[in-house]
Amino acid sequence: MVEPERHPFLEGLSKHRGAPPTVVVIFGASGDLTARKLIPAIYNLSYDNLLPAEFHLVGYGRKPIPDEEFRSMAAKAIKDFSRRELDSDIWGRVAANTTYVSGGYDEKAGFDRLASHIRAIEGRVGSEVQSLFYISTPPSVFESIIANLGSSGLGGRYLGQTHHSKVIIEKPFGMDLDSARLLNGTLGSVFEEGQVYRIDHYLGKETVQDLLVQRFANAIFEPLWNRNYIDSVQITVAEDQGVGTRAGYYEQSGCLRDMIQNHTTQLLALTAMEPPGSFEAEALRDEKVKVLKAIEPVALGPDGDVARAQYAAGMLAGKSVPGYLDEQGIARDSATETFAAIRLSINNWRWHGVPFYLRSGKRLPRRVSEIAVQFKRPPGTIFPSKDGFNLAPNTLSFQIQPDEGLGMVLNAKIPGLETRTQPVKMSFRYATTFGSNTPEAYERLVLDAMIGDGTLFIRGDEAETSWGLYTPVLQFWKSEGRRGMEAYAAGSWGPAAADRLLAARGHAWRQP
């Protein structure tokens, strides 16, 4: 096969990151995440020659599936969901070492078969290999899988660089502080912290990583990155889809658990953290934990810091869509929020007095995720608004999806004989500069786990600190039932309560 021509901006970048011989075991191998994200990620790593020479993929699930059928399922997943077309030579290298083991998640015998299967692979390789266990299952079986990895000897203990097992665990990592602590305890009984990779795929997105580069590799931003120059920060994670077929999961989760506690709060931590001493995993994660611990407790009640709502019937993309309470599988008296907004205050020297506004919801006008840093307005002494000058606050926005890039709102003079001003936007887009075939987040994260780089994963104390912030909100909402629950029309940007949350501080939501 002829190697495709690389974009010139990518020349000189390393294509090999030194992953040792590895067996990747996917629990939940027939699930949706495996088909849509994990199999395509592994295929694209193979395409880029980033898998180790000895790489083996093992699927594990309750349903007995012959090896050849599992390979066919994987090939179909690549055809349907990969950012690149299926190349038989590239997939053939992975498929030759792709197998399947069936067994229950609470069945030790199945894990004993898996252990024998891995030993047989090591026998063919002629040496020990690292085992990377990817738990891509419903959270109800997380603890059973972890316990059986321990009882079967597959978990092992961390033994430096010579031989170790690793585990990637998907969200949701717990449902509140107590359950997160319990899950951390279960993990700690089998694995050392250095073996555990709590995944949040947002951290693998290019623009999220670029946030660190913009802050710490450009001298123009960091001197202004504080309360003296920044007025407020808005973080939006919007979805245009409804609950769909996920009613069972979503009724147990809701927006705060599903999006705010993890994705959105991770974006806040990277935006607000202090510069780490180095670009090492623990240095960066230390700073994230520090800023999360500095967030003040959330005020609850009618004039508090949070708003919640459910989408009602409305119009989206020219089509009529039902409200949440009319969706299949949703109880008519459901108190599960499909929209949440929260105002957070960070009690440290850098951010004192700067509100951070977080919002996420379903059935909003479009799918978009962005961080918007709004700087303080210029004094207006030279160009006063009373004289008709149109000045907007400078805003730096990081668009995370769908069109990854960076934007800056500046004020400029309108051409003409009179002095008139107008806000203008400067923008950079990844697809324009670097080409459109940007790696998926899961590619970066699976590779990082294989080579032992935990920078873009969540540490145990970080997960607990985040849950400690939001658990009181969840408990308050549970005690309130539907009292205080607002509605917003599908296709709108959310309820009036979210607007009031900002108006109380003289702000308004921007439309990303």
One-letter amino acid for residue 495 of the chain = P
Residues 6+ apart with CB under 8 A from 429: 403, 404, 405
From the candidates 56, 163, 263, 352, give the one annotated as an active-site residue.
263
One-letter amino acid for residue 395 of the chain = T
Judge whether 177 and 464 are in contact, CB under 8 Å: yes
Residues 6+ apart with CB under 8 A from 16: 49, 50
From CA 54, how far away is CA 318, in angstroms rounded?
51
Output the DSSP codes for 402-428.
SS-EEEEEEEEEPSSSS--EEEEEEEE
Sign of CA dihedral 399, 404, 406, 412: negative
Tokens 């026998």 belong to which residue? Answer: 123
One-letter amino acid for residue 29 of the chain = A
Rounded (10°) angle between helices 39-47 and 88-95: 110
Tokens 């093992």 belong to which residue? Answer: 58
Please say if 263 is a catalytic residue. yes
Q: Quick one: which H or E segment has residue 474?
A: helix 460-480
Tokens 């919007």 belong to which residue? Answer: 238
Structure tokens belonging to residue 475: 């408990």
From CA 114, how far away is CA 59, in angstroms rounded?
10
Structure tokens belonging to residue 280: 């090492």
Active site residues: 263
